[in-house]
Amino acid sequence: MTTTTLAVDCMGGDHGPRVTLAACRQFLDSHPDVHLLLVGVPSVLESFRHDRARIVPASEVVAMDDHVEVALRKKKDSSMRVAIQQVKEGAAQAAVSAGNTGALMALARYLLKTLDGIDRPAIATQLPNAKGEATTVLDLGANVDCSEQHLLQFAVMGSALVSAMEGHDNPTVGLLNIGEEVIKGNEVIKKAGELLRAAGATGDLNYHGNVEGNDIFKGTTEIVVCDGFVGNVMLKTSEGVASLIAGFLKEEFTRNPLTRLAALAAWPVIHALKRRVDHRRYNGAALLGLRGLVFKSHGSADELAFGHALERAYDAARNNLLDRVQARIAHARPLLESAAGDAQVEPATN
């Protein structure tokens, strides 16, 4: 049996070891082929005992409100940094952290470096759709300002992610826009559309075209590409809507006897709806474009949510996500290099 080893930043997130250790224990119990490297302050983790887990000491913790510079230059023995270091050194196949997103991306990029052909890593995650599946969206906040070349790179990496994790060899890609027509959007989006259409013509992508925000939840395409500003706002909005639905159902269930009776009769449907929109089931965002696998859990993740982040990292390692991303980039390199070259050409002046 092939063993998969994950490095877990046990100190990160809003709840720290109280959540991460409980999730790790459940994950170990349900995955006999997994070893975990539990990274953190030894005195906090020493009570955890499991024959497939080992404590890796780290004396510092990156706080959720720490600036990136603090994580990079001052806290050089943080649990987050040491966890990523395990991936760099080959001791683990992937790292998982619920800590500060900016710090995690900065440390991962500094320690692991980006893949050839990729300028900026991107954060990719899944959102539930009406088809009972999930739509993969990237970027979700790593890159606020993106060029058309970056959006092309995100599309290539996203295709590799869905192909590896979902088993779809040629997943469809949509470009998030304010309308389906090619004339819609700002200049960056229009130029990105041109590049993505060219990638579709060469077989590097299965490009669908422009999609709108509601298409994400319809499942119109398997992948949706956008810049990090738009993606992060959309992600937080979707989480808020999911919480609103869950709160509404709970309130209606407890409002009065008649409502409770009706809710009991409809419980199978209510339960299915709550499960469908439960963002905890989609926790675990991939940091794509690095020379190693790193997964970001939501900072407020509970035990269930952090367990799903571990599951995503485990699946990525087992399905050779890193190799498949590299293969996709290598296949698309002529197009990526051509796009980068065009961007460097100075426009003619009259």
Q: What is the pLDDT of residues 267-300, one digit of tens each?
A: 565 555 555 556 678 899 999 999 999 999 999 9
Q: Do the domains 1-112 and 116-284+320-343 sit in the same CATH topology, yes or no?
A: yes
Q: What phi and psi, each to the nearest 5 degrees, are found at residue 278?
A: -70, 105
Lowest mean pLDDT among 67-76, 201-210, 297-306, 332-341: 332-341
* pLDDT(73) > 90: yes
In the chain, where are the structural domains located?
A: 1-112, 116-284+320-343
Task: Kindly state the average pLDDT of the residues 122-145.
Answer: 91
Residue 350: per-residue pLDDT? 38
Structure-block tokens of residue 152: 């092309």
Structure-block tokens of residue 63: 């706080």
Residue 45: per-residue pLDDT? 96
pLDDT band at residue 261 under the 50/70/90 scheme = low
pLDDT band at residue 260 under the 50/70/90 scheme = low
Residue 166: per-residue pLDDT? 87
pLDDT band at residue 338 under the 50/70/90 scheme = confident
Average pLDDT, the chain: 89
Residue 236: per-residue pLDDT? 84
- Its pTM stands at 0.88
* pLDDT(140) > 50: yes
Give me the CATH code for the 116-284+320-343 domain, please.
3.40.718.10
Give me the CATH code for the 1-112 domain, please.
3.40.718.10
